[in-house]
Amino acid sequence: FDFDYNEKYRPLYHFSPQYGWTNDPNGMVYHNGEYHLFFQHNPYGSMWGNMNWGHTVSKDLKKWEYMPVAINPDSLGTIFSGSAVIDKNNTAGFGKDAMVAIYTSAGRIQTQSIAYSLDNGRTFTKYDKNPVLSDLNFVDFRDPKVFWHQGTNQWIMSLATTQTITFYGSKNLKEWSKLSEFGEGIGDHGGVWECPDLFPLTYNGQTKWVLFVSINPGGPNGGSATQYFIGNFDGKTFKADNLPYPLWLDYGRDNYAGVTWSDAPDNRRVFIGWMSNWNYTNHVPTVNFRNAMTIPRELTLVNNGKHLVVANAPVKEIAELRRATEKVSDFTVDKTYTVDRLLKDNQGAYEIEMTVKPTANFNFKLINKKGENLKFTFDLAKGSLIVDRSNSGISDFSDNFASAEIKAPLVKKDTYKIRLLIDKASSELFINDGELVQTNTMFPSEPYNSLVFESEGTIAVENINIYELK
């Protein structure tokens, strides 16, 4: 079929489905030089429904190649979110190095099923004794994320079980037994718990375990968002450290259901999220497709000046997408300062990199000729970073979209290193290497092409580069 890359809001460097709908990223696994990304997909239309696993692969996390739909619905149900692993020791008996997908069969009830591929994810065969895990006590029982736990020599599954995450163990991916349950009385419970991911990160040479839990609704700015916990996991039980929960991976309104790759090289922990929000996603004004993923991000543990957080910053490969560069000389803002033109030929896909040294509250806006703008306010006095998309472009498709303030707690610092990635209809703001992140979509009627600063005092803006990204 024919499809139009020039469609107005089609991203240039983010993954979006060729045709039809996507929500959650699924089954992310690195194997034989390829990053596999499967995704919740309606191949027949651009609203949620008929869930299949779509499939795309990338060698470099920059360009994505479309592959045929990987897993189709069957008598057990449609195919909801889940993960994939490489079975290096053939524990399941499907073959050495089989790629095994573990997903939710969403039928009359939700159960967990598996399917395997012996040809690098090109085709999958469903296990003939599916489902491999069911529990009639739960209505919301889904999104299995599986990894091999060296210490206890078993597969561990994290599963969303309504208001908790339940961990299961297995020797062969086929028989699962309950290990423990986490979540009662801790974190945000404003909505259903979904899409968990449990993985290790090192901090100061020490292994810590991080548990992601997406929640919808209940996000800090309404609707969908991903909270996380930092703690320890002994192969059976996850214990959270004493931190000011809920902690949110991204305070923007459009980063949901994200999880990390299995077996990424160099021990990297690479994340991708779905760049939308259940509040309004079925109505966003695209035509042939709906929704895109975030850029791939590398996760690390850092101290933000107050406590440990999970930082998420663009993977290093993203810098290789930089094309035409506009270098802007350092300037000081004394009340206002305008950078008239970002790029000569602005296709709406670019990055702004800059260092701001504030002495007082300030904001900057991206603006187009129609006056539509996306505004970022650093309120040092109140300790908040606010994104305002109320006048960012088309927003009348949903009452829930343009709510004025999208807020995040901001730790006061002498210097903010800023990277702002724009791709037609999305903005990803990274502060201090991903210590604080806001991802928000917007639908301007033409690309924003100037940058206007306002400040309540004198502030220095340095190392400003504007890069076309492609």
Q: What would the x/- binding string for ligand FRU be over residues 240 to 269, using CB under 6 A?
A: -----------------x------------
Q: Which is nearer to ligand FRU, 143 or 353 (CB)?
A: 143
Among 14, 31, 126, 142, binds ligand FRU (CB under 6 A): 142
Query: Considering the complex, what minimum distance in angstroms separates the CB of residue 82 from ligand FRU?
Result: 8
Q: Which is nearer to ligand FRU, 40 or 164 (CB)?
A: 40
Among 80, 127, 416, 467, binds ligand FRU (CB under 6 A): 80
- The yes-or-no answer on residue 128 being catalytic is no
User: Among residues 24, 254, 388, 423, which one is catalytic?
Assistant: 24
Query: Considering the complex, what minimum distance in angstroms separates the CB of residue 103 from ligand FRU?
Result: 8
Query: Considering the complex, what minimum distance in angstroms separates the CB of residue 318 from ligand FRU?
Result: 25
Among 25, 36, 127, 143, binds ligand FRU (CB under 6 A): 143
Query: Considering the complex, what minimum distance in angstroms separates the CB of residue 212 from ligand FRU?
Result: 12
Q: Which is nearer to ligand FRU, 104 or 391 (CB)?
A: 104
Task: Please state, in angstroms and rounded to a whole number, the distance separating the CA atoms of residues 103 and 266.
Answer: 27
Binding flag, residue 51, ligand FRU (CB under 6 A): yes
Q: Which is nearer to ligand FRU, 142 or 149 (CB)?
A: 142
Where in 179-208 is the site for ligand FRU (CB under 6 A)? 194-195
Q: How many residues make up the chain in this entry?
A: 470
Q: What would the x/- binding string for ligand FRU be over residues 101 to 130, using CB under 6 A?
A: ---x--------------------------
Among 14, 19, 21, 23, binds ligand FRU (CB under 6 A): 23
Binding flag, residue 24, ligand FRU (CB under 6 A): yes
Binding flag, residue 226, ligand FRU (CB under 6 A): no
Query: Considering the complex, what minimum distance in angstroms separates the CB of residue 426 from ligand FRU?
Result: 18
Structure tokens at 19: 């045709």
Binding flag, residue 40, ligand FRU (CB under 6 A): yes
Task: Please state, in angstroms and rounded to a whole number, the distance separating the CA atoms of residues 81 and 297.
Answer: 20
Instruction: Give the footprint of ligand FRU on this chain (CB under 6 A).
Output: 23-24, 40, 51, 80-81, 104, 142-143, 194-195, 257
Active-site residue set: 24
